[in-house]
A and B are shown apart, each in its own frame.
Chain A
Amino acid sequence: MAESPTTSVSGLQRLLRHQLVWPVLALVVLLLVNVAAKPGFFDIRMQDGHLYGNLIDIVRNSAPVLLVALGMTLVIATRGIDLSVGAIAAISAAVACTRIVGAADEGALTTAVMACTYALAVCILLGAWNGFLVSVLGIQPIIATLILMVAGRGISMAITDGQITTVHNNTFSDLATGYVLTLPVAFLIALGVCALTAVLTRRTALGMLIEAVGINPEASRLAGVRSRTIIWTVYAFSGLCAGIAGLVIAANTNSVNANSLGLWIELDAILAVVIGGTSLAGGRFSLMGTLIGALFIATLARTVNNIGIPSDLNYLFKAIVVIAVCLLQSPKVRSVFRVRRPGATGSSGSVGSAGSATPTLAKAGRS
């Protein structure tokens, strides 16, 4: 990277071009709206050794979407998409709850652990099934996962026999409502998975290989990347993440309703990924962006409540966010902005360094 002569300007420009600027700004604006509506929004107090407050609620509520979105990020990076995550979450919750209810000692710690392990194993299998359809049979990801999206809720209802199953197990409900080190367990789990994914993809070559598969599966295969195995793995991982999310959602209410559990969570997760700046065209991903995207969605839900709008109208705001994000990411709109800024053509060095610039943009910038 060549240093530009005017470092202060290019530093600011580079900051503005950083792909996380817009998501972070949006999140900050949303939080400021909350503070404007209720000045005490940021208040956090200690009670019974836990932290309480709006911010804590937001991070706790963001956990399921964050978990699903992490798996989705990797899937999208391989140029795929996973629509079945909501259904997998429902299956995971159904399996775990029926195992706990059917166990000899319903309240025991081992029961909860065994049931969750069993449920997650099922989810990995389901994810691997998606991976099999995509990588071995070569079916379009959107269709391959649509199959499980359609059938999954039926399977989940078959497991619970169409009933709302209620469980009484303290360890299980701690998944959603418990606290460790004054922070909610659900968020810590999500953060843990996030950190683990970040280490696995960014400290090893795995992330680069995933991106290579997303850019061109055929070329990466010829270059010696086992694209088939990688695609298989990311779908299995997405299944696992969806499974954990399903457990957290079920633990929150101590029950599973196969019809409504995780309904539309796949859309929220895709939204989180898109807000975070990961392109649906595949080839690059940002886990940090996904984290911010998931927090943004949870904050949006809380904001709508906080400023006194019925929470059902959340959808309307989500629609506005989707359109705004897409327009911001759209090459056409960006190139319009790029042309209007006179300094943009001069600093060709930063065009190369900005990961967000698409090839067409880079071309437009140089000409």
Chain B
Amino acid sequence: MSATTVPADSLWDRVRGFTPPPRYLPVLATLALLVGMFSVGGVRYEGFSDPQVVLSLFIDNAFLIVLAVGMTFVILTGGIDLSVGSVVALSTMIAAKTLQLGWPPYLSMAAVLATGTLLGLLMGLLIHYFDIQPFIATLAGLFLARGLTYLISVESISISDSTFTNLAFKTVTFGDYYLRWTAIIALAVVAIGAYVLARTRFGRTVYAIGGNESSAMLMGLRVAFTKVGVYVISGFCASLGGLLFSFYILSGNSLHAIGMELDAIAAVVIGGTLLTGGRGYVVGSLLGVMVLGMIKTLISFDGTLSSYWIRIITGALLLAFVVVQRFASRRRT
């Protein structure tokens, strides 16, 4: 927009006449909401306008960002993945248990990632080749991952491996401010996810399947590969998120991450992705996670509100976004 080469319009005319393409409107709405919440917090609470508050959002929600990226892929094809919360719990447990058994830390991480990816692959195969609804197949995944977690250990196992703790607390400083490695990994996942969706054949096929699966099939796109692929990606992201979560919480516990799949789905919806598939962006999901994180930060800064307000406000936001989306898409059709 800065390169105003046409001399006839003044810059002001162009700014005034500028309307963002409609497909970006949901993401911009989320961004506006985030900025609005941040300004309200900055005005009301002392120390809220510190940039470190924003950076902490990335640090505290790194695992959720990664989950939301995987979930975005699945939801864009019109599916859903309920298993991510349980896979996170399973990942923390596998990491904790293998380290306890004396595995090298990097082998343990590889085991975590391989397990999540394999689970995703199995669910994808069930969904595509046996025509099982995503909801039910991933429900089986939810039970399976949670059950495996209990099978490994019913009790909580703490992680004390030096490689893990080093990675967990390693920071990158920008002047006075710092970011942890986990947050940088999460942002890298967002960047890769955005690139894959926008610039690769796989990404275009994801949107095509979400738009209309039979059309995509008739166009000769690789529907089977892509459909299984998104669940593999989601499984991988869930286990990577679980790894980041185990850095964050430094223990493996079968009660970790109960209901985290709801947070991931909520973040994706608040980020403007259409749940029927075919429309949405990974960046929106990132913003959705930030909005959820901002609610938590606001409530903890306030101090008088109880933590259950997080859920109520999340539900209200979810409602607002879903209803607005519904009316917007009704007008278009």
Contacts and interface: CB of A to CB of B under 8 A. Distances in A.
Give me the 6 closest cross-chain CB pairs, A-B, nearest first: A151-B315, A316-B147, A154-B311, A315-B147, A319-B144, A319-B143
Given A137-B323, A147-B318, A154-B309, A142 B147 contact: no
Given A318-B143, A332-B130, A332-B131, A313 B151 contact: yes
A322 B122 CA distance: 14
Interface in A143-160: 143-144, 146-155, 157-158
Contacts of A151: 311-312, 314-316, 318-319
B144 A147 contact: no
B133 A280 contact: yes
A209 interface: no
A91 B167 CA distance: 42
Interface residues of B, number: 46
A316 B326 contact: no
A326 B312 contact: no
A310 B137 CA distance: 25
A146 B266 CA distance: 9
A149 B311 CA distance: 9
Classify the interface of chain A: helix, strand, loop or mixed.
helix
A330 interface: yes
Given A154-B312, A327-B132, 13 more contacts: A147-B315, A149-B262, A151-B316, A153-B311, A157-B311, A158-B312, A161-B306, A263-B258, A267-B143, A310-B154, A315-B144, A316-B148, A326-B132
Contacts of A319: 140-144, 147
Given A151-B312, A158-B312, A316 B144 contact: yes
B276 interface: yes
Given A267-B142, A280-B135, A154 B315 contact: yes
Contacts of A139: 322-323, 326
Interface of A: 81, 137-140, 142-144, 146-155, 157-158, 161-162, 258, 263, 267, 270-271, 274, 280-281, 310, 312-319, 322-323, 326-327, 330-333
B174 interface: no
Contacts of A314: 147
B269 interface: yes
Contacts of B136: 270, 274, 280, 322, 326
Contact of B132 (A270, A318, A330): A330
Nearest to A162: B306
Contacts of B308: 153-154, 157-158, 162, 258
B245 to A, nearest CB: 19
A307 B130 CA distance: 33
Given A326-B140, A330-B130, A333-B130, A148 B315 contact: yes
B114 interface: no
A312 B275 CA distance: 33
Interface centre among B126, B137, B254, B308 (most CB of A within 10 A): B308
B330 interface: yes
B106 to A, nearest CB: 29
Contacts of A323: 126, 140
Contacts of B140: 319, 322-323, 326
B291 to A, nearest CB: 13
Contacts of A318: 143, 147
Contacts of A312: 147, 150, 154, 254
Contacts of B66: none
Contacts of B269: 143
B97 interface: no
Interface string B298-320: 00000000111111101110110
